[in-house]
Structure 1
Amino acid sequence: MKNIAYVFPGQGSQEVGMGQAMYESYPSVKKLFDQADEALGYSLTTLMFEGPSEELTKTENAQPALLLNSIAIQEVLQEEGVEPGMTAGHSLGEYSALVASGSLSPMDALQLVHVRGKLMEEAYPTGKGTMAAVLGLSQEEIEEVLRNFDGETAVDLANINCPGQIVISGTKEGVEQASQQLSEKGAKRVLPLNVSGPFHSRLMKSASDDFADYLSKTTIQDADIPVYANVTASPVTEAEKIETLLIEQLYSPVRFQQILEAFAEENVDAIVEVGQGKVLSGLVRKVKRRMKTFSVQDPDSLQSFIDWYKEES
């Protein structure tokens, strides 16, 4: 049996039309989408298939849409007999990983990310916080600059994606000033991100407090398959620890590069991106160039992966 790891995409990968081909091809996907619409009280399916894009991009819609799409594909993979040895997700994608690992039920996860999205939107005034991608500097070089940013110019590391690609997050004023200093320090580029808030920074602490209350009412099981947590980049299976890490995840950096390095040490045969887009597959190649990757997001890509998975080693 091949040793594979699942990775699940986070916010930013959403796209109008996502999931439609799977919905039309697999009864289990249609059933899950229908259950999701009923649980949420509105047609997320219609929004995913038809848009408009501005509505789908809203955090409170994008998060459940991406999760629903990922866990539906994961369910089909399970029907096909695919069993991952480990899972992880990028930010929001960690919830898909927890569903795949048996820690959260699909509908509980869907409600959680819908609430999470709302709380993240409400945690900081719209337009007052932002994020930027810093290309070409090391984590240490960026941290050296950010030490001077606090209070009204608070800025933190948000996503450590791969060598030379790190996202910062904080107040709009702080990110603009930090971007200027990082460019002067030698960054190849500093790209402002089209986001609605300072996610994965200390400015999300109020959202984490409210989210903790909601999370405490949700059933979280011990995971059957190790989930590599964003906060620690280490495997976790205990329900209590999972709950703590999900709260911390809102204001802590996503250590995705370290997660991929940890997967490589486990001698995985392939890393499979389950869900919309190919962003994470691209990051895998930048961290571990020779690592085999698959992006499974429609019937054709799913079949291509299944064919490889079932080949004799």
Structure 2
Amino acid sequence: MVKTAFLFPGQGSQFVGMGQNFFEADPGCRALFEEANDILGDNLTELCFQGPEEKLKLTENTQPALLTHSIIALKRLRDHGIESVLTAGHSLGEFSALVCAGSLRFGDAVHLVRQRGRFMQEAVPVGVGAMAAIIGLSAEQVQQLCRNASSEESIVQPANLNSPEQIVIAGHKASVEAVSEQARDQGAKKVVILPVSAPFHCQLMEPAAVRLQAEMEKIDFKELDIPVVTNADARLNTSGGQARESLVRQVCSPVRWTETMQVIVDQGIEAIVEVGSGKVLSGLMKRFNKDIRCYQVGDEESLAKTVAELK
């Protein structure tokens, strides 16, 4: 069997229709959607399949939707005997990774990510914060620009270290815009202000981290069956207690995805499967290391192709 790692996507990968193909193909997938509906007290199934897109894009809805799609895709992979030797998830995806690793129950994860989405949205009033993707500058260059543009009243920080050339920044809107302008002046290939409702993974999320920690203390995190590479430290972890603590720190810390990919490479992984919505993580890995085979499983067609290749 090919030595495989499962990667779980984060916010931004959602789309209307997500999970519907699995739902129609497998009773177990229908049961997971129904469990999520019951926990949330909402019709997540209808929202995922029919939208509207604007409602699906609300953080408190996006997070349980993406997690549910990932876990039904994981179920279908396991139905075909495909397993991973380690796992990781980008931001929200770390919750999916912990379900995969046996540390978190699916129902507990659905509850936590709904609360996480609400807490993150409520931490900063709409319009106060912003995020931007900077492509073509190094992490060191972006870090220095953030230092120069930050003050006690207005901060900006690296939020997602997605690849050696793709850094997302977050913070107060004015400081994010200042760094974006300076990045263009320094020769960035592309700078894009992101259409997000809050500045994730920076100090402004501290109120959300405090509230999420209180919520997570009520939940049992078991020891992990396989290692998860944590966002906050880019280290392999198998401790339930450390898994909980890492999720809290992740709210205000940058997602260290470049280092996460290097950890995966260093473990001798031969193939990665992006499990759920979108192809962002498999695309990043393709550019990061051309020796690792990259797959994505989001419906029955991509599942069949991936299973045939990995077996």
The verdict on a shared fold, with TM-score over 0.5 as the criterion, is yes
**1:286-297 mapped onto 2 (5 Å cutoff):** 286-297=287-298
1:32 paired to 2:32: yes
CA RMSD of aligned residues (A): 0.9
Q: CA deviation at 1:152?
A: 2.7
Name the structure 2 match of 1:6.
6
The residue that corresponds to 2:304 in the other structure is: 303
How far apart, in 1, do the equivalents of 2:151 and 2:158 lie?
13
Matches within 5 A, 1:237-256: 237-256=238-257
* Structure 1 equivalent of residue 136 of structure 2: 136
Deviation at 1:300, TM superposition (A): 0.8
Runs of 4+ in structure 1 deviating by more than 3 angstroms, as ranges, are none
Q: CA deviation at 1:120?
A: 0.3
Q: CA deviation at 1:245?
A: 0.5
Deviations 1:107-156 (A, max 9, x none): 00000000000000000111110100001000011111111212232001
Report the equivalent of 1:192.
193
Taking the aligned partners of 1:14 and 1:199, their CA distance within structure 2 comes to 17
CA distance in structure 2 between the aligned counterparts of 1:286 and 1:122, rounded to whole angstroms: 36
1:218 corresponds in structure 2 to: 219
- Is contact 1:152-1:173 (8 Å) kept? no
2:262 matched to which residue of 1? 261
Q: How much does 1:257 deviate?
A: 1.1
- Counterparts of 2:287 and 2:132, CA distance in 1: 19
User: CA offset at residue 78 of structure 1?
Assistant: 1.5
Summarize deviations over 1:213-238 as a string: whole Å, max 9, x none.
Answer: 00000111111010000011111111
User: Which piece of structure 1 moves more, 59-68 or 144-153?
Assistant: 144-153
Q: Please, what TM-score do these two structures have when normalized by structure 2?
A: 0.98
- Once residues 126 and 291 of structure 1 are traced to their aligned partners in structure 2, the CA distance between those partners, rounded to angstroms, is 40
- Secondary structure at the aligned position of 1:167 is classed as strand
Cα offset, 1:289, TM superposition: 2.4
1:80: Cα distance to partner?
A: 1.6
Aligned equivalent of 1:272: 273
Aligned residue pairs total 310
**d(CA) in 2 for partners of 1:53 and 1:26?**
25
Q: CA deviation at 1:290?
A: 3.0
* 3-state SS in 2 of match to 1:81: coil
Within 5 A, what are the aligned runs for 1:13-92? Answer: 13-92=13-92
1:37 partner letter: N
The Cα offsets for residues 265-310 of structure 1, whole Å up to 9 and x where unpaired, read as 1111101000011111111112112321001000011011111222
Q: Which residue of 2 aligns with 1:153?
A: 154
Contact 1:236–1:242 under 8 Å retained in 2: yes
Separation (CA, whole Å) in 2 of partners of 1:152 and 1:173: 11
Unmatched segments (≥5 aa) in structure 1:
none
- For 2:9 and 2:194, locate their aligned partners in 1 and report how far apart those are by CA, in whole Å: 17
Q: Which moved more, 1:47-56 or 1:178-187?
A: 178-187
**Contact 2:6–2:84, Cα closer than 8 Å, also in 1:** yes
Indicate the SS of the match to 1:225. Answer: coil
Counterparts of 2:36 and 2:157, CA distance in 1: 34
- 1:236 equivalenced with 2:237 (yes/no): yes
Matched-pair contact (CA < 8 Å) for 2:162–2:256: yes
* Structure 1: distance between partners of 2:231 and 2:297: 22
Query: Tell me, which stretches of 5 or more residues in structure 2 are unaligned?
Result: none
Give the fraction of aligned pairs with identical amino acids, expressed as a percent. Answer: 45
Tell me how far apart the structure 2 counterparts of residues 152 and 192 of structure 1 sit (CA, whole Å). Answer: 21
